[in-house]
Chains A and B, each alone.
Chain A
Amino acid sequence: MEKEIIRGAEALMRSLMNEQVDTIFGYPGGSIMPVFDALYDHKEDFKQVLVRHEQGALHAAQGYARSSGKVGVCIVTSGPGATNTLTGIADAMLDSTPVVLIAGQVMSSVLGTDFFQEVDLVGVTQPIAKWSYQIRSAEDIAWAVSRAFYIARTGRPGPVVLDFCKNAQTSKVAFEPTKVDFIRSYVPYPKPDEKAIAEAAELINRAARPLVLVGQGVELANANEELKNFIEKANLPVGRTLLGLSALPSDHPLNMGMLGMHGNLGPNVNTNNCDVLIAVGMRFSDRVTGLVSTYAKQAKVIHLDIDPSEINKNVHADIPVIGDCKETLPLITALLENVDRKEWIDSFADYAAIEEEKAIRPAISPNGGPIRMGEVARRVSEATGNSAILVTDVGQNQMMSCRYFKFTKPHSVITSGGLGTMGFGLPAAIGATFGAPERTVCVFSGDGGLQMNIQEFGTIMEQGSPVKMILLNNNYLGNVRQWQEMFFNRRYSWTPMLNPDYNKIAEAYNIPSRTVSDRAELDDAIKEMLETKGAFLLHVAVMEEENIMPMTPPGASVNEMVFE
């Protein structure tokens, strides 16, 4: 077949179609203009979403990726356009989110001359991206784009950066579609080791008090069913990480709650009581382990992960099971015995009762007083039949909504875990409405975080994105204020915040909104939000000095949670 001669920018379009891309988030500028010019002819092929700040584009692509399981795509200009995405790249790296960023770059002939808007993007992103590559000639495009998508989505997913020189966008090339599915120096799916599988199964069969820790790896591998079979066959209680919350339905009888600094008491305390700890697709982050030197020292540890560099990184693994958990979980399950572990499983209930009394009831059914964050989260969740996607910003609003939202479907929690990026929530939620258009998307933000990317109201207005925004306004940078209260002698330095009139801001962007400060009105307002077609801002005046409890204080062991 005769190869078609096309411009580099058009070759990029063809390459993106070849990867089944359907949505692009971005922002134009000088050194990427030929690409945006080509996009003009592809309005039917891609949904084209102009954000209001490039950080928003990257977070939107993350929200798209995490809600759909597909690769999120961003196109921005060189220099400031590219550097504005860096927070999102770092966030996607820490949270293993597959995104491809295509950034303009100056012509290859002037590289290194401090040309207008030249930044060494490959150099800057190498330490925070899974792969960074500079396309200097149009011949490179088909190969580089396919390789970028292959790397972003396979193995442990992550962000990939393509630095696209302007001359490569404009010069002609004989285009031939390419599909990269092999890189000789890259092993995305390590072959499971039969011996490790057998040893893991035997250890679990002999365990009296096993505990499974589930992370986002299960969701990334689409192994939710495999996980269910695994835990149900042998009656294994489960704790889930923040990013793994929807890997198992919240009401599953073996779900014992959330792990981590603000997780549930039972799974945290029992981490230091179990005899076998089985980690599946999680990385023992410090937010989960607390003081690592006292963490699960009594237990034998089995660690299932696709990334060999996670093994023994923070916690020693007695039996590493390297591989894709969609493969390794069933292999272990096949060897498991059905052991009754009633007494051990019941032990979680004792902790749950304490937590219910000391933290949960006051948070979701308080006796009067100002509205609490937790009750808003629980009521919104229930009003959606616990089937919505929860997107959160960072801070108390994040911890409270993650604690009290309930999940029935996979891919339902989108939050910035590893980087803890304030400003993540709003654009990520916009992305999620594109990634999962059939689902309800609820984003919880604080008054601080919402303002970090509030310009994306413009994107919502223009795209008609049906984002249900719940602003939990405590007039504080609440999470920091809580630490000041607990560890800095109540010296509220830089945390009280004078807020604008959020309803007026929403109105300026044609977004319907409502403010609620009276508990009696809450259900009605939630109903109005969910029944309103399109976007809605529910502004809730919540208790100003509420603390997220329980908490593992910094430097404390995982079983030393406090309630005040």
Chain B
Amino acid sequence: MEKKLFTLIVYSENIAGLLNQVTAEFTRRQMNIETLNVSSSSIEGVHRYTITLWAEEETIKKVAKRIEKRIDVVKADYYTDKEIFMQEVALYKISTPKMLNNKQVSKIIRHNNARVLEINASYVLVEKTGKTEEIVTLYKEFVAEQCLLQYVKSGRVAITRDYNEDLSEQLFNEDAKRKGINR
């Protein structure tokens, strides 16, 4: 089976060591994480991990279940790019003298819909939000003009195209969890 880029969205309790438990499932299969974003979610005390990686669908399916099985993980689902809205953000530090000597540089900033966050005598700080390809295109254009001092790109953040992902039922429906046999 061919490998595709998947986005794995994991909700978990906010406890120390959780990331380790999540990534252990990748480590044991020698899967390489492409990007990783961790932050709080809309539910208090619940953290959200957005992870992208290349994998076969069979594998990612099993890995998602194994991650969800961890006690403190609430939910783990995987998506293809068609099923989500996604963005990344990048920062570019440009040499001010080079920009002043080369008109092309400010054109590049405008054409790519990038934002200037700060200008001083030595550098210009540029920000760009968008898809990976847009961010990389801008990077390459700056490199071609030999004006780039520093560059950093974030991991992906993503939101599903579904109307909402209702975690609260899953989290707060105590009855459902106590069902089964009393031992």
Indicate if the CB atoms of B174 and A182 lie closer than 8 Å.
Answer: yes
Which residues of A (138-191) have their CB < 8 Å from a CB of B?
A: 151, 153-154, 181-189, 191
State A311–B183 Cα separation when bound (angstroms).
Answer: 25
Indicate if the CB atoms of A323 and B180 lie closer than 8 Å.
Answer: yes
State A118–B61 Cα separation when bound (angstroms).
Answer: 37
Task: List the A side residues contacting B62 at CB < 8 Å.
Answer: 309, 312-313
Task: List the A side residues contacting B20 at CB < 8 Å.
Answer: 123, 126
Q: A126-B20, A127-B24, A309-B65 are in contact. Are A189 and B179 (CB under 8 A)?
A: yes
Indicate if the CB atoms of A185 and B171 lie closer than 8 Å.
Answer: yes
The answer to the question of A327 belonging to the interface, with a C-beta cut-off of 8 Å to chain B, is yes
Q: Say how far A384's CB is from chain B's closest CB, in angstroms.
A: 29
Indicate if the CB atoms of B178 and A324 lie closer than 8 Å.
Answer: no
Task: List the A side residues contacting B131 at CB < 8 Å.
Answer: none
State A189–B180 Cα separation when bound (angstroms).
Answer: 6
Most buried by B among A151, A191, A311: A191
Which residues of A (180-211) have their CB < 8 Å from a CB of B?
A: 181-189, 191
Q: A308-B65, A309-B69, A313-B62 are in contact. Are A185 and B178 (CB under 8 A)?
A: no
Indicate if the CB atoms of A185 and B12 lie closer than 8 Å.
Answer: yes
Which residues of B (2-21) have their CB < 8 Å from a CB of A?
A: 12-13, 17, 20-21
Indicate if the CB atoms of A182 and B17 lie closer than 8 Å.
Answer: no
A125-140 vs B, Cβ < 8 Å mask (1 yes, 0 no): 0110011100000000
Closest residue to A311 on the B side, CB-wise? B65
Task: List the A side residues contacting B65 at CB < 8 Å.
Answer: 308-309, 311
Indicate if the CB atoms of B68 and A309 lie closer than 8 Å.
Answer: yes
Closest residue to A185 on the B side, CB-wise? B74
> A131 contacts which of B12, B71, B179 (Cβ < 8 Å)?
B71
The answer to the question of A307 belonging to the interface, with a C-beta cut-off of 8 Å to chain B, is yes
Indicate if the CB atoms of A327 and B74 lie closer than 8 Å.
Answer: no
State A154–B183 Cα separation when bound (angstroms).
Answer: 8
Indicate if the CB atoms of A186 and B181 lie closer than 8 Å.
Answer: no
Indicate if the CB atoms of A126 and B17 lie closer than 8 Å.
Answer: yes
Task: List the A side residues contacting B68 at CB < 8 Å.
Answer: 308-309
B58-90 vs A, Cβ < 8 Å mask (1 yes, 0 no): 000110011011011110000000000000000
The answer to the question of A269 belonging to the interface, with a C-beta cut-off of 8 Å to chain B, is no
Task: List the A side residues contacting B13 at CB < 8 Å.
Answer: 185
Closest residue to B66 on the A side, CB-wise? A309
State A326–B180 Cα separation when bound (angstroms).
Answer: 9
B156-183 vs A, Cβ < 8 Å mask (1 yes, 0 no): 0000000000000001101011111101
Residues of chain B whose beta carbon lies under 8 Å from any beta carbon of chain A: 12-13, 17, 20-21, 24, 28, 61-62, 65-66, 68-69, 71-74, 171-172, 174, 176-181, 183
Instruction: Enumerate 28 A-B pairs (CB-CB under 8 Å) in ascending A order.
Output: A122-B17, A123-B17, A126-B17, A127-B21, A127-B24, A127-B28, A131-B71, A132-B17, A154-B183, A181-B178, A182-B174, A183-B71, A184-B171, A184-B172, A184-B174, A185-B71, A185-B171, A186-B72, A186-B177, A188-B180, A189-B181, A191-B179, A191-B180, A221-B181, A308-B65, A309-B65, A309-B66, A327-B180
